[in-house]
Amino acid sequence: MTARAPLVVVGDALLDQDIEGVCARLAPDAPAPVVDVAHDRHRPGGAALAAVLAARGGRQVLLVTALGGDPASATVRRLLTSRVRVVELPLHGTLPVKTRVLADGRPLVRVDRGNGAPGRPGRAVAEALRQAHTVLVADYGRGTATAVREHLAALGRRATVVWDPHPRGQTPVPGARLVTPNAAEVRAFADGAAADASLRSCAEAGSELAGRWRAAAVAVTLGERGVLLTRPGAASPMLVPAPYRAAGDACGAGDCFAAETAGALADGCLPEEAVQRGVAEAAAFVADGGAGNPALWSTGHAQPAVRAEARTDPFALAEQVRARGGTVVATGGCFDLLHAGHVGLLESARRIGDCLIVCVNSDASITRLKGPGRPLSPLADRLRVLAGLECVDAVAVFDEDTPTSLLGRLRPEVWAKGGDYDADALPEAAAVRSWGGQCVVLPYLNGRSTTRLAHRAAASVRPPAP
């Protein structure tokens, strides 16, 4: 693995607490839910969480933050040990503690305590920032960015600065490479210029803020819609959509995006590349349970979970569906050029049962079956197209001439093929029947085939006869 460039994270550390349990009744004296507590977990929050996320994968991270002598500060110090190096400002008062009470994984209420204020930075802070090459400012509006602003402003062009702002915090120092507000923050910063959360409003406000802050770019985070990368005076921003809809706890997703994006810039990526890495990692982070994912805080220090798209394990999916009494449906083919016939088949197959797993020929398998020049689309592209269809729950690849061996592992209740096949003549039919499965033939659109499409395309580009 290529060594990752070091990163300095500056901002307000918090202590996050999750009290998790089950709610099945109301209190007898008030219409308030009663939570029977099963777990009580603590973790670093705010800039401390951003630093931990940036350090995954072996990156050296230095956190500049304010900590005091209170129990919450002591807990954060302990949780950061061996993960990141900390250079402290003094904290007058107590560290903020944010407590969420969750029932069945859903937040019921949040309680905030602590109102400490950072003191003056010492020589160690000044030296840490003077030597920094890439800095992420995770501003939570608690005063750390204000306390060290003079040092941040002195960085000038010799360091890359990524600023994750807060409405109650400081405006970014001029010359920031990237600023990462969310849509609500953009509306607050833009003084009403962003009338709503539409893409156009966010784009206009982001571009205006980039000019006002003298930032190279503003990346407006839009949750599951992705990120809008805007520049001063640019009318057409770049939208980086989320690679898939991530269902999970979004707590900490903004910190994850900022940390991954800043790390990518430190590694030499262009802003467009860095934002794409940040969006992909944030989606994976949410899908894995967000900041509350216990694996993130295991002693093994979880690695980043970047993935280009949600790849469901087909074998685990089949077991889960069967365990709850559902019907597993599978179909297969080359899917070299996806056309209307394929889509109709897949949609019909999905309606038969409770999940659809598509078995796909590998590139080598297609070449043996179809001859030189095939496949027209490489395996990675075919998998991505199939996985993007709503009717497809998972994909599996086989390298043999038939999917018989793969089906022996999946053991679907139904094996579906298009109407241009004879179910009894299929080489995998006997295997499917051996475990009680059923082969079926589904209606197929006549005249649709990859070979015909390829011939038609080739004919359209041939030079006219002399």
Residues designated as active site: 255
Residue 274: both structure tokens together: 């860095």
Alpha carbons within 13 A on the beta-carbon side of 293: 23
Q: Helix/strand/coil (H, E, C) string of the chain?
A: CCCCCCEEEEECEEEEEEEEEEEEEECCCCCCEEEEEEEEEEEEEEHHHHHHHHHCCCCCEEEEEEECCCHHHHHHHHHHCCCCEEEEEEEECCCCEEEEEEECCEEEEEEEECCCEECCCCHHHHHHHHCCCEEEEECCCCCHHHHCHHHHHCCHHHCEEEEECCCCCCCCCCCCCEECCEHHHHHHHCCCCCCCCCHHHHHHHHHHHHHHHCCCCEEEECHHHCEEEECCCCCCCEEECCCCCCCCCCCCHHHHHHHHHHHHHHCCCCHHHHHHHHHHHHHHHHHCCHHHCHHHHCCCCCCCCCCCCCCCCHHHHHHHHHHCCCCEEEEEECCCCCCHHHHHHHHHHHHHCCEEEEEEECHHHHHHHHCCCCCCCCHHHHHHHHHCCCCCCEEEEECCCCCHHHHHHHCCCEEEEECCCCHHHCCCHHHHHHCCCEEEEECCCCCCCHHHHHHHHHHHHCCCCC
Tokens 């395996």 label which residue?
A: 379
Residue of 357, 379, 380, 381 whose CA lies nearest to 366: 379
The answer to whether residues 382 and 406 touch, using CB atoms and an 8 Å cutoff, is: no
